[in-house]
Structure 1
Amino acid sequence: MEEKNYLVSGMHCAGCAAKVERAVEGLEGVERVELNLLTGKMTVLFEKPDSPAMERIAPVVEKAGFRLADWKEEPLAGTEREERLEQEETGGSRLVWSILLLVPLMYLSMGPMWHWPVPEGSWGLWMNWWTQGILAGAVLWLNRHYLINGVRQLVALSPNMDSLIAIGSGSAFLYGLYLLVAGMWQGFSVEGMELYFESAAMIVTLISLGKYLERRSYRKTNAAVKGLVKLVPQEALVWHDGAERAVPLDEIRSGDLVVVKTGQRIPVDGMIEEGQAALDESDLTGESMPVDRAAGDRVISGTFNRAGYLKIRAERVGGDSTLARMIRLVEQASQSKAPIARLADRVCYFFVPAVIAVALVSLVGWMAAGEGFSFALARAIAVLVISCPCVLGLATPIAIMVGTGRGARLGILCKSAGALEALSRVDTVVFDKTGTLTEGEPRVVAVLPEEGMDADALVEMAAALEQGSEHPVGKAVYEHARLLNLPVRAVADLSVVPGRGIAGTVDGVPYAVGNSGFMQDKGISWKEDESRLREFMRQGASPLYVGRGGCPAGVIMVADSLKPDSRAAVDSLKRMNLRVVMLTGDNAATARHMAGELHIDEVVSDVLPDEKASHVMKMEERGDKVAMVGDGVNDAPALACARVGISMKSGTELAMESSDIVLMKSNPAGVAEAVQLGRTTLLIIRQNLFWAFFYNIIGIPLAAGCLYPAFGLTLNPMIAAGAMSLSSLCVVFNSLRLRGFTPRLGGLGK
């Protein structure tokens, strides 16, 4: 499999995108196609790296009437950005000129009806009519791109929204022109006849107004990415040869010593070597309060230095920095397609041909019913210009773009639109305990040696086996030995059983450190009913058993403190009608204590690292929609198996790679915020889709004159064009409401 990105240009509606997708999907060797109407980005998954389909994509897209180019990492950079800005400026000036020409046209057209002063007499009337034709022709010429593109798509048998505009406005203008020419040629007056010049001009002007406002609104939808890009400083201070030197950001390399002063943003990811400062991370994590950082602490790019002086050893720079990865994730998610959009995509493919057919049926039907050609033409034009495939295509991607962008500002990074939608549907949240609900930094709270065994000697032997361990409990024992200034012995014949224990030989004596099950495997029995052990376990401490020469040597009690917001986060999820489950490798007593502290009703204890994924899979198999929250290497399989995998930024790289959503803050409350964001985004999408279908289902029959026989109601083509523009704007503005999304304490009901 190989994935490649392209830029498709020339699309003006959802029907265009649907046709391109269908055309490319029809190529042999193409596995999947996703095309984003807003950005023009098309992602194609090929069955093999050297697929012949790669060479055939460009001709297929061009045959459909569009242009294809390779996708650039920054599609709005350089000449393309200039082209977009030039297009918007040109569209604005074109709109202004269209309105200036439309005003006198409407005056001449509507003047007689309102008894306004207009040219009179035979010559005055003809001058009035021809002036209307010239003004309407000028407006159509200004907006000729609709006509040219619409006709081009019709010739390619791939009609789109521009085709509907071209047919509607073009037929109105040509009909009026025909009446004028025929009247002069045959010597009859067109007074009292509908020329439709004002309708033709008003249609393209209102469409242009709607498109112009849409383009202006699109800028706001992508404001989150633009906001993140602004966090990147263009240059930084580097400490070199005992002095500060300003260098461009792209010249900074890993290992450089970077200086950050008060009022500056940190340009790289790295570790503080000197100084201390109050750092504002709100733009990245959503946390409003500044945090104090000093030597030995790690910092991330984009963070604002409120007060202090720092020297930072650069570790990740440029495209590898946290901020750069955030920008890529947000862009990737906003350009992906949510599963809920598939229905609209299927409808869009057939929408424009169906509308043209309805317009023809309306024209022929009204003429067959005895109405004049002028009346029938007006109904057909109204059908063409009121129908809006754009509103179907915009319903989902705009909401996704705004939702993922807002999530990024809250420290919630969604890797795809599908993840955001899936998150809105979860009914079970499974937490790995260590590092998510707890601080992930256990400490030794008690050392309980067996009779005849010294406490320091017990810690010394356990630390010898645990040196180099990546497990939090092992690290806690090793750090405790260092605090006691105990020597670290050399170990031979080391063997590790992940999630259970570790064994080795120290000074020729075999030692084993691990849980009770590991000790039983080694043939070492314990009196687990001792009151001193049970008391520590009831307080949330976990026992780490130490065996020496096949006999019990003692127990080291290790405890991990809960994060301050863990209980509130669990309560919030439960108020959102979500089932909360805790997975932990702790023994049942410790696990029950922790669960009680957190108000979690369901806990699975004594879980080995490789068993987490199987527990999640069992939940999914019985119908649960699971969101798995974890941060460690051993959580990666479970994160991948869940409906939605959520990882903490403080976790490992593997966990973040395996997850669908990354929380930039280590606060479990971010899980509830993410679910709320997913539900709110899905609600907005549903509202958009409802409006899109409702508008077209009601508007098209009304435009066709279905209410005329019973109520005498018809729809003027000018009003139909205005309704079409307004429908797209409604979807855009409804989606923009997500920019003001703020998580609510207690969550949202289902």
Structure 2
Amino acid sequence: MSNPVALDITGMHCAGCARKVERTLNELSSLETAEVNIALNRATIRPANAKGIQDAINAIDGLGYKVQPQSYEFVVEGMHCASCVSKVEHAAADLSGVLKVSVNLATGKVYIEALESLFDQTELRNSIKALGYSLASTSAPSPENDIKEHKKPWLQSGYLLLAAIVLCIPLVSPMLGLVHPFPALEQFLLALPIQAVLGYRFYRGSYHALKSGYANMDVLVALGTSAAFFYSLYHWLAGSGGGLYFESSALVMTLISLGKWFEERAKRKTASALDALLSLKPQKARVWKEDSWSELAIAEVQQGDRIQVRPGETIPVDGKVIKGESELDEALITGESEPQLRSSGDKVITGSMNGSGTLEIEAIALGKDTALSKIIHLVEQAQAGKAPVQQLVDRVSAIFVPAVLAIAFITLITWLTLGYDFEPALLAAVSVLVIACPCALGLATPAALLAGTGVAARQGILIRDLNVLEAAQKIDWVFFDKTGTLTRGQPTVTETYFKDEHALAATAALQSSSEHPLAKAFVTYAADQQIKATGIESFKARAGKGVEGIYQGQTIMAGSQSWFKELSIRIPEDARLQALTQRPGSLVHVAMNQQWVGSYVLEDQARDDSAGAIKALHERQLKTGLLSGDRNPVVESLAFELSIDNAKGELLPADKVSVIKEAQSQGLHIAMVGDGINDAPALAQADIGIAMGSGTDVARESAAITLIRPQPALVAAALEICRLTRNKIKQNLFWAFIFNIIGIPLAAFGLLSPAIAGAAMACSSVIVLTNALLLQRWKARN
């Protein structure tokens, strides 16, 4: 399956719009899948071929909406003629995500419109360089400016709304008994600007919807207000003496538009966590170039560059401190509230706020490869997805507007059949049209997802798979890996027993080729003993068993007692070795040419918050288990120390999977927490896989939830925010449905005026979004 591509869309106003776009995209043969999120105004597609993206953009344009690309501006040095311009344009146009390219030879600038999720500035720089030119500088919009620009249309809508409210006051005053009714001409002149200017977006949306064979919220609003407005206009011009409802059309249009304005503001707030992460991306860095510090655009920074970060500035790249000492505030990235001391040799991450010291760092990761960019990508992916319950909502949304139109028509006919005049029948039908709110229904799930996944990210919890929102409610057991999960993952060698120095040096050489924390501990021990750790060949790691290689022509292996037993390698039973087996640590045996040559013990301490993490799970009535490849005495000792309910040691990766499968076969629902390659199969098998952020990429890719901070206490917090988010979705769906279930019959029976119906429609969306925003107050308990 191809990689997902995000398309930001302008012009969608309700769930009907989103449903229309999603259905149209899924009908394209050049796309594998397509999902549309109304809260983000975004479509996430998976192209089946090279035409997929352009076909999707064309289809969206055909529906009356627009794909919103990101605009970039670059300065290219070295162009001299029209041929240069043509080459640069073609090179840029061939890059992923680029939709439009324009090059100005006079100014030396290239203007690009591209899909931000695909466009890579480093790729552009390399392409331009390959042509013999150079990208001297960039002036791409900053995240802060991008956020401000996103708000501008709604600022302008606010001015229009203010004008509409001013025009509505004279129309509404007679309804309140404050003044006598105005003449028909004055009512018409007051209502016309509202109907024409404020209503333009609804008419335009209706036109494109109906042209494409769909009906959405715009159709309901345009049809309802137009019926009241033009019916009044007919009576006035015909001089029939019938009732005038200019105030109803104007007030309904104003109230619904006011509700949409508040809705957009609330939608921006639900996405504020992502905005906060985006705003952490620095645009410039101070780099050591040609014997002086130069301020460069971040796109010009290269891997290995030396960068200076002064007090109060933001770390611009992922890197390693090479000079200086300072405390860094990483709260917005990792959720860690306390500043972290960083000095020479320590790693730093993009977006961290520097404290009082000056740091010099070496750039290690740039652009999309930084930890911050990966976090943003994960959050965006989660927020663009759909919770399982959304499938039901999508089915309801697909028939909602047509059903409302049918109910309104039936209402009109029924009133007339019962002998009522046309005016009350029309008002009842109009009330049905304007109270029906597909917006609230469409926003119920995505608004809660935005708020829930966003606040979780701020607390150091990345939710990658939205299916966990359902699964989290059913969890019975939480299984943990030991090393690096419940323990610090920084074991130390506490005792050794080797036949000679040669065996010790061979072991150091073997373990120096491994990335496992237990291997690194022995390498550190060897270095302290001034033992040279080089010379290994043909290194191999045996998952869950140990490692082996060739040292000076001899086969050497180090691993567990069970592996040695499997290989029929005899281990001595002398008193000294028996004493080692009694130590509360991991016992590793070493053999050369199938003969035992030594053993050593490694001990690892439990993390400070491990006991509290287990207690928090027990308080939620969850059982806990420990699954480890370590020796049973070590595993049982840690389980006793932390009050874990069940512990199993000496397990291979396949054994961990078997334990989880056995529990699932008994009807239990399992969460697995781990950090290593060995844990990946178990993380994938569990109902919910939770990976520690300090672990391997394989573990993180196999897990539905990633904890940025390696703190077991976040496990209970992750399950809690999943539960709270799901509850918010259910609450939002209740409010969305209750407004329509109660409101539509009341309107059909003539118990609601169009103005009250319009206010109720606007109110429903605001209530749903405000309810979702309450999630942003949540904080993980440590």
TM-score, scaled to structure 2? 0.85
CA distance in 2, matches of 1:63, 1:730: 33
Cα shift at 1:458: 5.3
Task: Answer yes or no: is the 8 Å Cα contact 1:64–1:158 preserved in 2.
Answer: no
Cα shift at 1:532: 7.0
Query: Residues 218, 531 of structure 1: CA spacing in aligned structure 2 closer, same or farther, 3 A cutoff?
Result: farther
CA distance in 1, matches of 2:534, 2:458: 49
Cα shift at 1:435: 0.9
Question: Do structure 1's residue 479 and structure 2's residue 524 form an aligned pair?
Answer: yes
Percent identity, aligned pairs only, is 38
CA distance in 2, matches of 1:497, 1:298: 30
Letter in 2 for 1:329: L
Letter in 2 for 1:42: A
Task: Answer yes or no: is the 8 Å Cα contact 1:426–1:626 preserved in 2.
Answer: yes
Cα shift at 1:584: 0.7
3-state SS in 2 of match to 1:271: strand
Identify which of 767, 770, 775 aligns with 1:730.
Answer: 767
Task: Answer yes or no: is the 8 Å Cα contact 1:537–1:590 preserved in 2.
Answer: no
Give matches, 1:208-357, under 5 Å. 208-357=257-406
3-state SS in 1 of match to 2:432: helix
Question: Do structure 1's residue 170 and structure 2's residue 226 form an aligned pair?
Answer: yes
Letter in 2 for 1:138: P
3-state SS in 2 of match to 1:312: strand
Give matches, 1:496-515, under 5 Å. 496-503=541-548, 511-515=556-560
Task: Provide the aligned C-alpha RMSD in A.
Answer: 2.9
CA distance in 1, matches of 2:324, 2:58: 60
Letter in 2 for 1:608: L
Question: Do structure 1's residue 19 and structure 2's residue 20 form an aligned pair?
Answer: yes
CA distance in 2, matches of 1:72, 1:549: 58
CA distance in 2, matches of 1:516, 1:333: 43
CA distance in 1, matches of 2:53, 2:376: 28
Question: Do structure 1's residue 666 and structure 2's residue 681 form an aligned pair?
Answer: no
Query: Residues 32, 623 of structure 1: CA spacing in aligned structure 2 closer, same or farther, 3 A cutoff?
Result: farther
Letter in 1 for 2:777: G
Aligned counterpart, 1:32: 33
Deviation digits for residues 121-165 of structure 1, max 9, x if unmatched?
Answer: xxxxxx712322222222212212223422443354311111111
Q: Which moved more, 1:275-284 or 1:354-363?
A: 275-284
Query: Residues 380, 310 of structure 1: CA spacing in aligned structure 2 closer, same or farther, 3 A cutoff?
Result: same
Task: Answer yes or no: is the 8 Å Cα contact 2:199–2:253 preserved in 1.
Answer: no
Letter in 2 for 1:690: F
Aligned counterpart, 2:186: 131
Letter in 2 for 1:437: L
Question: Do structure 1's residue 44 and structure 2's residue 45 form an aligned pair?
Answer: yes
Aligned counterpart, 2:125: none
Task: Answer yes or no: is the 8 Å Cα contact 1:363–1:377 preserved in 2.
Answer: yes
Question: Do structure 1's residue 110 and structure 2's residue 165 form an aligned pair?
Answer: no
Query: Residues 65, 504 of structure 1: CA spacing in aligned structure 2 closer, same or farther, 3 A cutoff?
Result: closer
Aligned counterpart, 2:651: 607
CA distance in 1, matches of 2:520, 2:582: 23
Task: Answer yes or no: is the 8 Å Cα contact 2:513–2:539 preserved in 1.
Answer: no
Q: Which moved more, 1:283-292 or 1:84-93?
A: 84-93
Deviation digits for residues 438-469 of structure 1, max 9, x if unmatched?
Answer: 111211112245xxx35x56533432332312
CA distance in 2, matches of 1:570, 1:537: 28
Aligned residues: 713
Deviation digits for residues 507-566 of structure 1, max 9, x if unmatched?
Answer: 6666542211222233233467x8877776666311112345655444311111111111
Identify which of 516, 520, 533 aligns with 2:561.
Answer: 516
Cα shift at 1:180: 1.8
Query: Residues 171, 537 of structure 1: CA spacing in aligned structure 2 closer, same or farther, 3 A cutoff?
Result: farther
Cα shift at 1:723: 0.6
Aligned counterpart, 2:157: 91
Q: Which moved more, 1:690-699 or 1:500-509?
A: 500-509
Task: Answer yes or no: is the 8 Å Cα contact 1:436–1:666 preserved in 2.
Answer: yes
Give matches, 1:292-691, under 5 Å. 292-448=341-497, 453=499, 459-488=504-533, 490-491=535-536, 496-503=541-548, 511-526=556-571, 540-547=584-591, 550-620=594-664, 622-691=666-735
Letter in 1 for 2:183: N
CA distance in 2, matches of 1:575, 1:341: 31
Aligned counterpart, 2:111: none
CA distance in 2, matches of 1:330, 1:621: 33
Task: Answer yes or no: is the 8 Å Cα contact 2:459–2:780 preserved in 1.
Answer: no
Structure 1 portions without partners, runs of 5+: 120-126, 709-713, 746-750
Task: Answer yes or no: is the 8 Å Cα contact 1:631–1:651 preserved in 2.
Answer: yes
Query: Residues 653, 495 of structure 1: CA spacing in aligned structure 2 closer, same or farther, 3 A cutoff?
Result: closer
Cα shift at 1:62: 4.9
Task: Answer yes or no: is the 8 Å Cα contact 2:412–2:426 preserved in 1.
Answer: yes
Letter in 1 for 2:756: I
CA distance in 2, matches of 1:395, 1:34: 16
CA distance in 1, matches of 2:408, 2:27: 30
Aligned counterpart, 1:73: 116
Q: Which moved more, 1:561-570 or 1:661-670?
A: 661-670
3-state SS in 1 of match to 2:480: strand
Aligned counterpart, 1:124: none
Letter in 1 for 2:684: A
Deviation digits for residues 340-370 of structure 1, max 9, x if unmatched?
Answer: 2111111011000100111111111112122
Give matches, 1:715-726, under 5 Å. 715-726=752-763
Deviation digits for residues 192-236 of structure 1, max 9, x if unmatched?
Answer: x53221111110010011011112222212211221222233322
Task: Answer yes or no: is the 8 Å Cα contact 1:151–1:166 preserved in 2.
Answer: no
Cα shift at 1:242: 4.8
Task: Answer yes or no: is the 8 Å Cα contact 1:277–1:292 preserved in 2.
Answer: yes
CA distance in 2, matches of 1:422, 1:481: 46
3-state SS in 2 of match to 1:199: helix
Task: Answer yes or no: is the 8 Å Cα contact 1:501–1:515 preserved in 2.
Answer: yes
Query: Residues 28, 410 of structure 1: CA spacing in aligned structure 2 closer, same or farther, 3 A cutoff?
Result: same
TM-score, scaled to structure 1? 0.88
Question: Do structure 1's residue 154 and structure 2's residue 203 form an aligned pair?
Answer: no
Q: Which moved more, 1:462-471 or 1:504-513?
A: 504-513
Task: Answer yes or no: is the 8 Å Cα contact 1:538–1:590 preserved in 2.
Answer: no
Cα shift at 1:252: 1.4
Aligned counterpart, 2:780: 743
Q: Which moved more, 1:656-665 or 1:220-229?
A: 656-665
Letter in 2 for 1:72: L
Cα shift at 1:615: 4.3
CA distance in 1, matches of 2:229, 2:565: 91
Structure 2 portions without partners, runs of 5+: 70-113, 119-139
Aligned counterpart, 2:77: none
CA distance in 1, matches of 2:599, 2:755: 84
Q: Which moved more, 1:682-691 or 1:406-415?
A: 406-415
